[in-house]
Structure 1
Amino acid sequence: TNDDAAPAGGVLGFTAGTASAIEGNDGAITPITFTVNRSGGATGTVSVDYAVTFTGANPAAASDFVTGQPLTGTVTFANGETTKTITLQAQGDTTFERDETFTVTLSNPQGDTILSPTLPTSAVGTITNDDILPIYTLQGSAATQGTNGASPYVGQVVVTRGVVTARDTDGYYIQDLTGDGNRATSDAVLVYTGSNPAATILVGTIVQVTGTVTEYASTSNGAGAATVTEITNSTFAVQGTAALPAPVVLGTGDYVVPNDIAGALAFYESLEGMRVTVPTPLVVGPTTAAGEIFTVANGGVGSGVTARGNLLLEGGATSFGNTDTVGGDFQPDRLVITNGLGQTLPNQLNVGATLNNVTGILGQGFGYPEIHATAAVTVQSAGTLTKTGTTLSGSATQLLVASYNAENLDPTDAQARFDTVASEIITRLNAPGVIAMQEIQDNNGATNDNVTSAATTLQKIVDAITAAGGPTYA
């Protein structure tokens, strides 16, 4: 234990190890003050030097202080004085930047004094950013995002502002009220909360959000798929209400999807999270089990829809061993309408059906663009496409061969499923002489064991066909 008496002039150190101030805007001068304490004695005149260094993950610079701000100096205590201050003048601006830090260090005590062994002899100062980073700057353009569409601010804590355009079960979308008018940048972003957003975050509410910029890549994404820019670990402040920005109408004017894959990726990235409208969507594929509806805009005009109402993929230049994408048309204008925001979608639409205009948020899923509807989706006209069977038939001189996908049929499935399979084989496939069955489960279904025979499953199919008046297969 040190039992030495303190010098008559006392010991010197900072009262606190940190100090901070909000930066302010252009022309603002903000003082950041550090208090030097003299304790254990106050006899005589003493002094201590100080020096400012720019430290931390995002260090400040001389330009962050007023012109001529001394970054070194001496603090002098007169006889009996116990506190002195060091004040640095921060220069305000309107440029978004991360909070900046610096360190003030005491050294070279003069007179009958020493540096304190208990109080801090260095202190960290923080210039706290109070500028708003516009959403379109946060999102960046192709020039700043690179090929994967990543924000140039990934990993940084930002402050941004926008109007809430949609709520999800684990986040909400905000969009800049005016945008920057730049076709290459998105004006919207997803704020990911991980659970239902706060009750005060309503559509039409203006919120200021502080959080970390993150890029989310779904495990279902294919290679080369774009990521989704999100703000995570966020806090918010409600700042009023506003009308929602008008949606961008896809498939018209400057918003026609390019045919080439790279151009299409950049196109959708520039609209990520924004309100969009798909005019007169034409259904070009069957409704999925998840309720997703595959469409193209404008009733299919200009989309290369076939006579049967679906899309034809066209390969590009031949390149051995590679996907022929250059010069091809992989139909990137196909848009998937989803009920991801809880809206009602029509059930089981057929190819050729048309919908009334659909407005929603442009997102992505499984690597393709999705429209998350923000209002109920309604049918304008039903498709006329009906199920058809083969026109081929077997004869004494002609063998009819067909294949049938039973979609993991197993013996424990309901008899109605076997009856449906039998009916389709007889009526749709014209009871072919040879059937190659696909996705047939073995005798105990999905159980993972050493049973590999599917004799029971196949026999139930044979019996169902015979019972329905078809031939007896072996």
Structure 2
Amino acid sequence: MPSKKSARLAALTVAAVCSAASTVALSAPAHAETVAIHDIQGTTRLSPYAGQAVTGVAGIVTGVRTYGSSRGFWIQDPNPDADPATSEGVFVFTSSTPKVAVGDSVTVTGTVSEFVPGGASTGNQTVTEITKPTVTVVSSGNAVPAATVVNAKSVPAAYTPAGDTAASNSVNGLTLRPGKYALDYYESLEGMNVQVADARVVTATDPYTELWVTVKPRENTSSRGGALYGSYTSQNTGRLQIQSLGATADFPVANVGDSLTGVTAGPLDYNQFGGYTLVANRLGTLKSGGLERETTQKQKKGELAVATYNVENLDPSDATFEEHASAIVNNLKSPDIVSLEEIQDNNGATNDGTVAADVTVGKLIDAIVAAGGPKYDWRSIDPTNNTDGGEPGGNIRQVFLFNPERVSFTDRAGGDASTAVGVTKVRGKAQLTASPGRIDPADAAWASSRKPLVGEFVFRGRTVFVIANHFNSKGGDQGLTAQYQPVVRSSETQRHQQATLVNAFVKGILDTQKNADVIALGDINDFEFSGTAQLLEGDGELWSAIKSLPKSERYTYDYQGNQQVLDQILVSPSIRRGCDFEYDSVHINSEFHDQISDHDPQVLRFEP
């Protein structure tokens, strides 16, 4: 699954998916000829006419895109063939505002192209298009071909065939089997007029004016109306992205669990950020599902509450301090220790060498006090300038907040951006050589990525070791609808290295003190079932406590219609064996259109 927000920052509009792309050049028939749309589309993902000029391609205009860098229109043949594998629709790329209207009967002469949204390096599938077109309007006001109904019965349960091993696992050359595989089914409708009805929203409306619905209301449903991503081999085939050909102001502002009642219809497109997309010229009516933000329980006197919260590039110029403070105080009930991820330096993205974050953290602490919370103290280590990834100039890092009225921090000098923290034994107990400290900051595993922050805390006389993490993102991974199946998750390599180092450090603590209380938490950027999580857990040194929740509640993030786990709190055997811990994924952000972060915070309560 590709990187969440990092890939989207380059997009100026949802329509700008053609700004960075490539075409696939294929051998084709030697001469131009008059062909039907289904002949151009063919029975595979690649047109047999790719690269060739075609003339007199007839169809009815079903949708017109007048904005962005992918301007053009869709046409559909009202006289389909009998082959379910061949699409009857195609996109005509004009580059400038088209001079046609929905309902126009047209003929198109141009060149068939296989366009790769985002460029070939993304691994995305291609969109069959007619480019450099000459368009003749034959008549206007014609009936648009009836929309193909996409629903739970029409979409197969199997997601995709395996790619051709002789073609680097690409599915491009495989004959489409739309009755067996979901991706083949969607591809067989590429460019056609399709519709969904009474579809539940499974990813909220985002800043790019898009949302996701499911046409399979019973498929891996979460406790609050989303669709869970539970494994690499069990995909949610009913997910479909919704965009609109209408005005941005008219697009529904939806949360997870809401519904688009009635019919949503329009051409089926494929784009860089999500794959198959219904680009609606008719939108259903938004019906609220009444979703509300969650609140966790307050910790008891003898319980230590530890939380992790990615505050999404927080810097002093942001307007979200009061909202983050309210979330920490009211929704998280003022945890004793909070690991914050993505705290930026004092001037945010200004790239002038500033690395200190005391202004950022101080502003948040003051906002927490104003919201009725405790006067938190804090610890962190400033990174070396522009070495830890994230937004250039921002110098994101992890920060510990702690309530000094409930817990104390053991300060031990020596920790800095480049010095590796170690573990020693003092009077039979494990002790950090520096607190706070960083784990192996010079190791290549942390190149352009955040280094783990380690600290010693004391609660009611018991030492608790806390490791705050923010592993490298999923940037560069192929999307779930990529032409390569199974998809390549290249970003895992670095996370596996990072997880191995963190596990080794935890093992060093436990080898020194078998019953030590150790917590490794943060934005792991990977799933609870992933290889990253398995390496972190090791041979039982750690255990991801989110697995104590029912499966329907295991998610911290919502991406492209999949609710998934990215944020985790892992605990050592002494905490897990006690069986007196409580875990809560507090859903206050990921399901909502007005989120202040794209992550849901996590809280662990236990008695050390």
Q: TM-score by structure 2 length?
A: 0.51
Specify which structure has the higher proportion of helix: 2
The answer on 1:465 being equivalent to 2:465 is no
For residue 453 of structure 1, the aligned residue among 356, 368, 376 is 356
Corresponding residue of 1:404: 309
Corresponding residue of 2:160: 261
SS state of the match for residue 421, structure 1? Answer: helix
- In structure 2, how many angstroms separate the alpha carbons of the residues matched to 1:221 and 1:426? 46
- In structure 2, how many angstroms separate the alpha carbons of the residues matched to 1:227 and 1:219? 10
The answer on 1:312 being equivalent to 2:228 is yes
For residue 275 of structure 2, the aligned residue among 368, 391, 394 is 368
Corresponding residue of 2:35: 133
Higher deviation after alignment, 399-408 or 421-430: 399-408
Please list the CA deviations of residues 313-342 of structure 1 after superposition, one character each: whole Å capped at 9, or x if unmatched: 232xxxxxxxx4xxx321122011112454
- In structure 2, how many angstroms separate the alpha carbons of the residues matched to 1:369 and 1:332? 11
- In structure 2, how many angstroms separate the alpha carbons of the residues matched to 1:301 and 1:459? 45
Corresponding residue of 1:350: 256
- In structure 1, how many angstroms separate the alpha carbons of the residues matched to 2:133 and 2:105? 15
Corresponding residue of 1:303: 219
- In structure 2, how many angstroms separate the alpha carbons of the residues matched to 1:221 and 1:276? 27
The answer on 1:274 being equivalent to 2:172 is no
Q: Compared with structure 1, are the counterparts of its residues 239 and 369 closer, same or farther at alpha carbon in structure 2 (3 Å cutoff)?
A: same
The answer on 1:166 being equivalent to 2:68 is no
Q: Compared with structure 1, are the counterparts of its residues 390 and 257 closer, same or farther at alpha carbon in structure 2 (3 Å cutoff)?
A: same
Decide whether the 8 Å contact of 1:226 with 1:367 is kept in 2: no
Decide whether the 8 Å contact of 2:91 with 2:191 is kept in 1: yes
Q: Compared with structure 1, are the counterparts of its residues 133 and 98 closer, same or farther at alpha carbon in structure 2 (3 Å cutoff)?
A: farther
SS state of the match for residue 451, structure 1? Answer: coil
State the shift of 1:259 in Å.
Answer: 2.9
The answer on 1:203 being equivalent to 2:102 is yes
Please list the CA deviations of residues 380-421 of structure 1 after superposition, one character each: whole Å capped at 9, or x if unmatched: x31032111222x3343211011222221211224xx21111
State the shift of 1:349 in Å.
Answer: 2.9
Larger radius of gyration: 1
- In structure 1, how many angstroms separate the alpha carbons of the residues matched to 2:109 and 2:318? 52
- In structure 2, how many angstroms separate the alpha carbons of the residues matched to 1:353 and 1:197? 32
Q: CA RMSD in A?
A: 2.1
SS state of the match for residue 424, structure 1? Answer: helix
Equivalences for 1:144-163 in 2 at 5 Å?
149-159=45-55, 160-163=57-60
Corresponding residue of 2:88: 187
Corresponding residue of 2:111: 212
Letter in 2 for 1:284: V
- In structure 1, how many angstroms separate the alpha carbons of the residues matched to 2:213 and 2:36? 32
For residue 243 of structure 1, the aligned residue among 112, 130, 143 is 143
Letter in 1 for 2:91: L
Q: Compared with structure 1, are the counterparts of its residues 185 and 163 closer, same or farther at alpha carbon in structure 2 (3 Å cutoff)?
A: same
Decide whether the 8 Å contact of 1:403 with 1:435 is kept in 2: yes
Equivalences for 1:432-443 in 2 at 5 Å?
432-443=335-346
- In structure 2, how many angstroms separate the alpha carbons of the residues matched to 1:358 and 1:257? 20
Please list the CA deviations of residues 436-471 of structure 1 after superposition, one character each: whole Å capped at 9, or x if unmatched: 111211011111132111111000001111122210
SS state of the match for residue 145, structure 2? Answer: coil
Decide whether the 8 Å contact of 2:225 with 2:256 is kept in 1: no
Decide whether the 8 Å contact of 1:216 with 1:229 is kept in 2: yes
Q: Compared with structure 1, are the counterparts of its residues 281 and 339 closer, same or farther at alpha carbon in structure 2 (3 Å cutoff)?
A: same
Decide whether the 8 Å contact of 1:394 with 1:400 is kept in 2: yes
Structure with larger RCO (C-alpha < 8 A, sep 6+): 2
SS state of the match for residue 357, structure 1? Answer: strand
Corresponding residue of 1:63: none
Please list the CA deviations of residues 49-104 of structure 1 after superposition, one character each: whole Å capped at 9, or x if unmatched: xxxxxxxxxxxxxxxxxxxxxxxxxxxxxxxxxxxxxxxxxxxxxxx9654xxxxx
State the shift of 1:220 in Å.
Answer: 7.5
Please list the CA deviations of residues 218-275 of structure 1 after superposition, one character each: whole Å capped at 9, or x if unmatched: 217885432111111111112224311111001165x224432332221111000100
Q: Compared with structure 1, are the counterparts of its residues 221 and 286 closer, same or farther at alpha carbon in structure 2 (3 Å cutoff)?
A: farther
Kindly, what percent of the aligned residue pairs are identical?
Answer: 37
Q: Which runs of 5+ in 2 are unaligned?
A: 1-27, 162-180, 378-608
Q: Compared with structure 1, are the counterparts of its residues 353 and 177 closer, same or farther at alpha carbon in structure 2 (3 Å cutoff)?
A: closer
- In structure 2, how many angstroms separate the alpha carbons of the residues matched to 1:220 and 1:427? 45
Decide whether the 8 Å contact of 1:401 with 1:433 is kept in 2: yes
Decide whether the 8 Å contact of 2:198 with 2:284 is kept in 1: no
Q: How many residues align?
A: 323
- In structure 1, how many angstroms separate the alpha carbons of the residues matched to 2:316 and 2:146? 55
Decide whether the 8 Å contact of 1:353 with 1:384 is kept in 2: no
Decide whether the 8 Å contact of 2:147 with 2:194 is kept in 1: yes
Q: Compared with structure 1, are the counterparts of its residues 342 and 172 closer, same or farther at alpha carbon in structure 2 (3 Å cutoff)?
A: farther
Decide whether the 8 Å contact of 1:341 with 1:372 is kept in 2: no
Q: TM-score by structure 1 length?
A: 0.64
- In structure 2, how many angstroms separate the alpha carbons of the residues matched to 1:292 and 1:464? 32
